[in-house]
């Protein structure tokens, strides 16, 4: 006996399929927009770091003030990206790679904002030191700043290119920044003993090393999140090969 085909249900099937495709397209557009936003924030933060380190090198108080005054731009963009990620999580309930991407972006977004904060902290130190008379002692942060900038650029390049090896290289570079910070501490501490009348200036100079070191730590966090995004592997507390 031949079964009767119910043609009445076909329009509903077509409508459901069209709706599913529409939702998927909307989801893809939202994910693409989040990628665009995080890259825009990355470029903004990278530029602020460059300017902050330039202010240290030139002891430029006016440049330092401009960095401080425009910090709200990074804060606003960070909040916007987080809200977009949470909206996509709530509306689409993504899984697998898409879910991993959103989790990584939320964490990277936070680290980028914290890097922006460190750029402001550096600028605040420069704002103080630029008002002092020319001092006999000055610690050259060029090497430390260049290394931190290179780490930041590499971590963001690794994010764009989904480059596991480059991200891992950033993680390995963090110790070298810590070593420069230790050298700055030793030399500035020694200068404090010789110039007790310049303690205020020297403390601000010392704090610059702390802020650059924290900047590098957040950059390392970004690299670790890129590794998580690529491999699904959390390496925060895992040993890694230094070679």
Q: How confident is the model at residue 90 (pLDDT cuts 50, 70, 90)?
A: very high
Q: Is 216 exposed, middle or buried (0-12, 13-18, 19+ CB in 10 A)?
A: buried
Q: What is the pLDDT of residues 127-140, one digit of tens each?
A: 998 887 666 778 89
**Residue 54 in tokens:** 């330039």
141 phi/psi in degrees, rounded to 5? -95, 15
Higher pLDDT, 196 or 117: 117
* Residue 211 pLDDT greater than 80, yes or no: yes
Q: How confident is the model at residue 24 (pLDDT cuts 50, 70, 90)?
A: confident
Percent of the chain whose pLDDT exceeds 90 = 71
Q: How confident is the model at residue 23 (pLDDT cuts 50, 70, 90)?
A: confident
> How many Å apart are CA 227 and CA 162, to the nearest integer?
8
Q: How confident is the model at residue 198 (pLDDT cuts 50, 70, 90)?
A: confident
Longest dimension (CA), the chain: 105
Looking at the whole model, is its pTM more than 0.75? yes
Helices (H), 93-141: 96-129
Mean pLDDT for the chain? 89
């Amino acid at each position: 006996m031949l079964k009767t085909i119910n043609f009445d249900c076909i329009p509903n099937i077509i409508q459901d399929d069209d709706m599913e495709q529409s939702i998927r397209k909307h989801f893809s557009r939202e994910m693409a927009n989040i990628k665009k936003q995080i890259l825009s924030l990355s470029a903004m933060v990278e530029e602020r770091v460059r300017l902050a380190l330039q202010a240290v090198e030139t002891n430029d108080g006016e440049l330092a003030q401009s960095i401080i005054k425009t910090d709200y731009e990074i804060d606003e963009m960070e909040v916007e990206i987080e809200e977009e990620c949470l909206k996509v999580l709530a509306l689409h309930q993504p899984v697998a790679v898409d879910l991993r991407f959103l989790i990584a972006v939320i964490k990277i977004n936070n680290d980028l904002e914290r890097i922006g904060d460190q750029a402001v902290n550096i600028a605040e130190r420069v704002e103080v030191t630029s008002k002092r008379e020319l001092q006999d002692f000055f610690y050259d942060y060029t090497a430390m700043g260049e290394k931190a900038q290179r780490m930041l650029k590499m971590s963001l390049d690794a994010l764009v290119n989904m480059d596991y090896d480059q991200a891992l290289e950033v993680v390995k570079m963090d110790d070298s920044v810590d070593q420069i910070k230790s050298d700055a501490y030793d030399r500035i501490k020694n200068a404090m003993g010789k110039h007790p009348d310049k303690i205020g200036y020297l403390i601000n100079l010392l704090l610059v090393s702390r802020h650059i070191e924290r900047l590098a730590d957040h950059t390392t966090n970004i690299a670790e999140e890129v590794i998580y995004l690529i491999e699904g592997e959390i390496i925060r507390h895992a040993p890694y090969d230094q070679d």
